[in-house]
Amino acid sequence: MTAAVRRGQIWTANLNPNRGREVGKIRPVLIVQGDWLSAAQSRTVVVLPLTSDVRRDAEPLRVTVDARGGLRTASQVVVDQPRTLDRRRLGEGPLTELSDDEMARVEQSLLAVLGVIVA
């Protein structure tokens, strides 16, 4: 099993095979599941994919993250495509971690996508 994952970390994951309009390839993903679930040794992890195709007109469905750490290029979190992955799809360790402000914007967008709040 991979190293411990924490909410707000960005890891690399293999999203293949994809179907239809799903995001595929090996790419960074943001861990969004609660840390309590990771601590419970869940074999799956809830993530949001990132894309390097940064489009300002796609906000608020995408949240921009600047390049830093192992994330080599500015990217956007694709909030409208959450996925649950087997942990074996994750890479060896986190690339970087979102700031509290970045994570708050992701959470706000995710709540809107899920219909919990109005965007």
Confidence of residue 110 (pLDDT cuts 50, 70, 90): very high
**What gap in Å lies between CA 62 and CA 58, rounded to an integer?**
6
pTM here is 0.91
Cβ atoms of 17 and 45 closer than 8 Å: no
Q: Angle CA(51)–CA(15)–CA(82) in degrees, nearest 5?
A: 65
Specify the higher pLDDT residue, 41 or 10: 10
- What is the tens place of the pLDDT at every residue in 52-91? 999 988 887 899 999 999 999 999 999 999 999 999 999 9
Structural domains present in the chain: 9-113 (2.30.30.110)
